[in-house]
Structure 1
Amino acid sequence: MRIGILGVGHIGKTLSRKLSAAGHDVKVANSRGPETIDTTVLATGARAVPASEAVKDADVVIISIPLDRVPEIAPLLAGVPAETVVIDTSNYIPGRDREIAAIEAGQVESLWVANHLDRSIVKAWNAIGADSFALKGTPAGTRGRIGIPVAADDDGDRAIAIALVEDTGFDGFDAGPLAQSWRQQPGAPAYCTDLTRDEIPAALASAEAARLPKRRDLSGAAIAERFGERTNPDSKYLVRLSRALFM
């Protein structure tokens, strides 16, 4: 497939490498220009291009940027055909993002993104830590393979995203419509706990919306105290912490 990735942070750079290695035609872009993209992001065949080129003629566009910057790319996606699948990997992290009043008031993060982009989206790859995503992918059928929940309102879009999740080394799990995607947001039992596909349904079902923000913020404070602000901990620590706080 022809895939455009906007953002080459911790998740975006791994998506670039894994999807290129799986045989997809991948173009990547950031906000600073293609010449600033590290060559390691392109190691398996992806091409660095301007953002306008990344979304051009793409079958799938993946957004991997801080959630509060989503409104900035809305004009870029305005001309993208309706049949192009748009996948969002972002999460609302108040300590990192600007405060978003609608989400603070309870709006589901994915629906906030869809409203600002004025189009249907898919939510995927948001519920796995960057280190686990980079290091823990395994071939299909591997015992204990980690699952990743995928939510969308369009069944076809969700199926495409699930297939791409499989290509990155994880079991894609059908998590239903976007309105239920709060169950895979930060603070939820399925978030950064590295569960198998068989374990995900119970984790999604046990999520309690009112408790997510406090659990999310506790996790962020613990990580900042131990590692410093804006630091991604290794998967061993993050999974242990997430399971203790979220499950």
Structure 2
Amino acid sequence: MTTLGIIGAGHIGSQVARAAVKAGYDVVIANSRGPETLADLVAELGDHARAATAADAGAAGDVVVVTVPLRALEQIPVEPLAGKIVLDTNNYYYERDGHIDALDKGETTTSQLLQQHLPSSKVVKAFNHIPSADITTDVAPAGTPNRRALATASDHADAVEFITRFYDELGFDTVNIGPLSESWRVERDRPAYVVRQNADELKANLAIANRLP
């Protein structure tokens, strides 16, 4: 059974944990306040989940989800994630994170920043443009008309293969944007951001996105 390490237990992290356990994954989840603060969530998730430190969650996961504020990116442990597929849910909120010049100028993306921090990992964009509540509710079996679609991007084909399968298991279609350098198309304030869309609608919204406001 695949173990999903989740670093960050906020709205997105906890919802991905719920969805993953339902889909048959083991989950090891961490936050910045310590494993003991996750007792209620772990009790809800059941026997296939446990709480840990960020380093231990990263080490335990066959695949790891990083879902922390962008300002906390440098605190993500590097060595435990080496060689692993890492799902990046990050978004850039300058009001929270402070201004990052390279992002303001469109010179990089949030996922590229995480890939730079984790040079030996395989970063793939995931779950950044869906309201957290919808991760467990707006789902449907493969082939359902108007099934919701989520975007992804990565420089690693096996990472795209994994997230495509994972999205499908949870109840979503996938649209692959391409390399991480194109992941800005699904970042905050673009047409595809937090909009309910099927695959064709998502492709159209990605195509009309502007790099800078």
Return the match for 1:154 from 144, 153, 156: 156
Match 2:146 to one of 141, 144, 148 = 144
Give distance in 2, aligned partners of 1:134 and 1:38: 21
**Residue equivalent to 2:95:** 95
Structure 1 position 5 matched with structure 2 position 9: no
Could you list the runs of 4 or more consecutive aligned residues of structure 1 that deviate by over 3 angstroms after TM superposition?
Answer: none
Q: 1:21 offset after TM fit, Å?
A: 1.0
2:134 counterpart (132, 135, 141): 132
| 1:42 Cα deviation after fit | 4.8
Q: Does 1:19 align with 2:20?
A: yes
User: How far apart in 2 are the matches of 1:57 and 1:41?
Assistant: 16
Distance 1:52 1:111 in 2: 21
Report if aligned partners of 2:85, 2:159 keep a CA contact under 8 Å in 1: yes
Partner of 2:35: 34
User: How many Å separate the matches in 2 of 1:41 and 1:79?
Assistant: 22
Q: Name the aligned partner's letter for residue 98 of structure 2.
A: R
Q: Does 1:72 align with 2:72?
A: no
In the superposition, relative to structure 1, how do residues 127 and 37 fare at CA in structure 2: closer, same or farther (>3 Å)?
same
Normalising by structure 1, we get a TM-score of: 0.79
**Which structure exhibits the higher relative contact order, with contacts defined as CA atoms closer than 8 Å and separated by 6 or more residues?**
2
C-alpha distance in structure 2 between counterparts of 1:184 and 1:197, whole Å: 13
In structure 1, how many angstroms separate the alpha carbons of the residues matched to 2:116 and 2:160? 18
Q: 1:200 aligns with which of 180, 199, 202?
A: 202
- Distance (whole Å) between structure 2 residues aligned to residue 79 and residue 10 of structure 1: 24
Aligned-partner SS, 1:96: helix
The 5 Å alignment of 1:210-229 reads: 210-211=212-213
What percent identity do the matched residue pairs reach? Answer: 36
Q: For residue 31 of structure 1, what is the amino acid of its counterpart?
A: S
Matches of 1:52 and 1:27 in 2, distance apart?
A: 11
**CA separation of 1:39/1:140 partners in 2, compared to 1, >3 Å: closer, same or farther?**
farther
Equivalent residue for 2:63, pick from 49, 60, 68: 60
Q: Please give the secondary structure, in 2, of the residue aligned with 1:87.
A: strand
Which range is displaced more, 192-201 or 38-47? Answer: 38-47
Distance 2:170 2:61 in 1: 18
The superposition leaves residues 172-212 of structure 1 with CA deviations (integer Å, 9 ceiling, x where unpaired) of 2222111110000011111111110122111111111122x
**Residues 178 and 158 (structure 1), Cα distance of their counterparts in 2 relative to 1, 3 Å cut:** same
> Where does structure 1 lack aligned partners over 5 or more consecutive residues?
212-247
Q: Letter of the 1:111 partner, please give it.
A: Q
Normalization by structure 2: what TM-score? 0.91
Q: In angstroms, what is the RMSD of aligned CA positions?
A: 1.6
